[in-house]
């Protein structure tokens, strides 16, 4: 019964699925109905003395004048709803059509792919508000250029922008591969507080349900909900660990030895996150099993009491049935108590003694109360 309620009550956490038209040509794109209009935010920076250039661009054609003005150009593309703008970006920066298909349709697992003109990286970012939301973020890495593609305007990249504005020595003097690392690392770091909140909640549930004979059914639903969210996070983190490991081992051409060390550190962070999600999923499963056992024990106690009551009344019903058969008094063998003045109290006394004897027997056996 509880499991049926769980299937009905557990809220679903839906990850946007890829919108693929069966039979469509490779590289063809079609905007999703939920996509937002495309916005472009550009940052150009480097060790040059003229500082950082940052502004929003209304038309992708304006990006041509910004290429080469600084050592590194970062184009942050938010919203996949304006296909014309995206196609202009594709032509200007020579992005492969398959890359544009992946970022528009979404639903890609974390991966790294190399093309002749660029390297394409997909990671997942997570946001926890009322529910868990996992979003795909794509990066195109070229010589001196990083283009990020995402559907929602989240706050993952703001710390990186602040470091650029504050002229952080390492990020300003490094190239596009280090900027890609910084952006991916910012996304990975946002997983830590989300997973820690799940851990804190599990600890609260563990403390609140310890020693409770009958936990609330909503706790079971919440535990299964947490397990589902942690599974979603793990599905995003495991392939991210693999792609970061590739980027740290020199398997990706556009990642320089200077940036590989940092990608290795980011891979270590992902490994820690995977371990945390595995631990908390096991904890949630254990707490769910304990609470389900408590429900089962509660039900067993109820069934035990009902069984004892039924057991006591079985011999009483037998005695009442025998005395209720109304035998004829013509034979001394046919219930002589029928003609006896104290026959009725005698039958009630036998019932009372039988019930009392059974109760004493149950108590001594430890079936009712303590032994």
Question: Two tokens at 207?
Answer: 């403390």
pLDDT in tens, the chain (371 residues): 444 444 434 334 444 555 555 655 665 666 665 678 889 999 999 887 678 889 998 888 888 888 888 899 999 999 888 888 999 999 999 999 999 999 988 889 999 999 988 999 999 999 887 788 899 999 999 999 999 999 876 689 999 999 999 888 899 999 999 999 999 999 999 999 999 999 999 998 888 876 655 567 778 888 889 999 999 999 999 999 999 999 999 888 899 999 999 999 999 999 999 999 999 999 998 888 887 777 777 777 778 778 878 888 888 888 787 777 766 767 776 776 777 777 778 888 888 888 888 888 878 877 766 55
CATH code matching the domain that covers 295-365, chosen among 1.10.10.10, 1.20.58.340, 3.30.70.360, 1.20.1090.10: 1.20.58.340
- 3-class DSSP assignment, residue 87: helix
Smallest CA-to-CA distance from 148 within 167, 164, 125, 117 is with 125
Q: What are phi and psi of 112, to 5 degrees?
A: -135, 130
Torsion (CA) 320, 321, 327, 329 in degrees, nearest 10: -10
pLDDT for 268 equals 96
pLDDT for 158 equals 92
CATH of domain 2-10+19-294: 3.30.460.20
Question: Residue 178 and residue 121: Cα distance in Å, rounded?
Answer: 14
pLDDT for 66 equals 86
pTM above 0.85, yes or no: no
Is-same-fold flag (2-10+19-294; 295-365)?
no
pLDDT for 308 equals 79
The domain ranges of the chain are 2-10+19-294, 295-365
Smallest CA-to-CA distance from 312 within 367, 257, 236 is with 367
pLDDT for 20 equals 57
185 contacts 259 by C-beta, under 8 angstroms: no
pLDDT in tens, 308-355: 788 888 888 887 877 777 667 677 767 767 777 777 788 888 888 888
- Non-local CB neighbours of 309 within 8 Å, separated by 6+ positions: none
If you ran DSSP here, which 8-state letter would residue 153 be given? -
**H helices present in the chain, as ranges:** 2-9, 83-93, 97-105, 158-165, 169-173, 176-189, 191-209, 217-248, 257-323, 343-365
141: region left, alpha or beta (phi > 0 left; psi from -120 to 50 alpha): beta
């Amino acid at each position: 019964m509880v499991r049926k309620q769980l299937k009905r009550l557990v809220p679903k956490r839906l990850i946007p699925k890829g919108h693929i038209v069966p039979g469509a040509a490779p590289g063809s794109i079609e905007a999703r109905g939920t996509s937002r209009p495309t916005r472009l935010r550009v940052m150009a920076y480097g060790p040059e003395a003229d500082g950082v250039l940052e502004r929003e661009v209304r038309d992708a054609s304006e990006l041509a004048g910004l290429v080469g003005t600084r050592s590194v150009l970062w184009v942050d593309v938010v919203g996949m709803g304006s296909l014309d703008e995206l196609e202009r970006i594709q032509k200007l920066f020579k992005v492969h059509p398959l890359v544009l298909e992946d970022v528009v349709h979404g639903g890609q697992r974390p991966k790294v792919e190399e093309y002749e003109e660029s390297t394409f990286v997909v990671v997942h970012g997570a946001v926890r508000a009322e529910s868990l939301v996992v979003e795909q973020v794509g990066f195109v890495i070229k010589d001196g250029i990083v283009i990020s593609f995402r559907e929602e305007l989240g706050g993952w990249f703001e710390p990186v922008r602040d470091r650029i504005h504050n002229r952080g020595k390492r990020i300003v003097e490094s190239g596009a591969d280090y900027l890609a690392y910084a952006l991916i690392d910012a996304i990975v770091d946002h997983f830590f507080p989300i997973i820690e909140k799940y851990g804190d909640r599990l600890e609260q549930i563990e403390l609140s349900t310890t020693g409770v004979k009958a936990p609330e059914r909503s706790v079971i639903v919440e535990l299964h909900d947490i397990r589902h969210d942690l599974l979603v996070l793990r599905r995003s983190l495991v392939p991210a660990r693999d792609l970061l490991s590739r980027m740290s081992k020199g398997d990706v051409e556009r990642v320089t030895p200077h940036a590989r060390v940092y990608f290795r550190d980011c891979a270590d962070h992902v490994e820690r996150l995977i371990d945390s999600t595995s631990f908390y999923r096991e904890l949630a499963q254990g707490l769910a099993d304990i609470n389900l056992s408590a429900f089962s024990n509660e039900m067993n106690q109820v069934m035990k009491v009902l069984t004892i009551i039924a057991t006591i009344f079985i011999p009483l019903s037998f005695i009442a049935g025998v005395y209720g058969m109304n035998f004829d008094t013509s034979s001394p063998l046919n219930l002589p108590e029928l003609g006896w003045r104290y026959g009725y109290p005698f039958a009630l006394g036998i019932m009372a003694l039988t019930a009392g004897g059974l109760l004493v027997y149950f108590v001594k056996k430890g079936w009712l109360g303590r032994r």
